[in-house]
Amino acid sequence: MKDYGSKLNGVLNDFIMINLSVDEAYAFDYLSILDIKKNNSEIDFQNFSKVYQSIKSQTDQKIFEEVISSDIYQLMIKANKKIYDLIDEIRIKNVQMDAKIVDDANNQRFFLKKKLQEKFFVSELTEKKSGI
């Protein structure tokens, strides 16, 4: 039987996470993916809420609000939605398409992450893309 929780001081944890050190744009990109999924189920909404609060607690309040309300973040949500839609077309609808279409969508997402990192944060984006 799988262990979906662990006992810590007698309290069952229903959501175990590993904290990773990632650049801010990576964290907000992940949040934007969860933002897309949050209306799918209660669990997806809870995941979004937990990550939202986690990022918010580790980010300057003013910058957090600026990022979330920025055009760049909204475009990041749209870019991730486009990738999901393309993958769904391939997986669910069996649509044949050139891999470059998905690659281009993923590159657009990368450029938005880079732009978000440069606009709102001091450190550089740690993710590197070959051929770009």
* 8 within a domain of the structure (yes/no): no
In a domain? residue 43:
yes
pLDDT of residue 114: 94
Q: Which residue, among 121, 120, 24, has the nearest Cα to 71 in the 3D structure?
A: 120
116 CB neighbour count, 10 Å cutoff: 24
14-42: pLDDT as tens digits: 555 677 889 999 999 999 999 999 999 99
Q: Is residue 108 part of a domain?
A: yes
Report the Cα 27 to chain-centroid distance in Å: 6
pLDDT value at 65 more than 70: yes
Q: Report pLDDT digits (tens) over 47-57.
A: 999 999 999 99
Assigned domain for 14 exists: no
Model pTM? Answer: 0.83
Residues 126 and 26: their CA atoms lie apart, in Å, by: 9
Contact assessment for residue 29 and residue 46, using Cβ atoms and an 8 Å cutoff? no
Assess if residue 129 is contained within a domain. Answer: no
Measure the CA–CA gap between 132 and 28, rounded to whole angstroms: 22
Give the percent of the chain with pLDDT over 90.
Answer: 71
Residue 38 lies in a domain: yes
Query: What is the separation of C-alpha 44 from the centre of its chain, rounded to a whole number of angstroms?
Result: 13
Residues 6 or more apart in contact with residue 106 via CB below 8 angstroms: 83
Residue 10 in any domain: the answer is no
Residue 2 pLDDT greater than 60, yes or no: no
Question: What local confidence, expressed as pLDDT, does residue 21 receive?
Answer: 85
Q: Quick check: 52 and 30 in contact, CB under 8 A?
A: no
| Average pLDDT score over the chain | 86
In the structure, what pLDDT confidence band is assigned to residue 98 with cuts at 50, 70 and 90? Answer: very high
Domain ranges, residue 109: 22-120
Q: With respect to residue 91, please indicate whether it lies within any of the assigned structural domains.
A: yes
Q: State the total domains in the chain.
A: 1
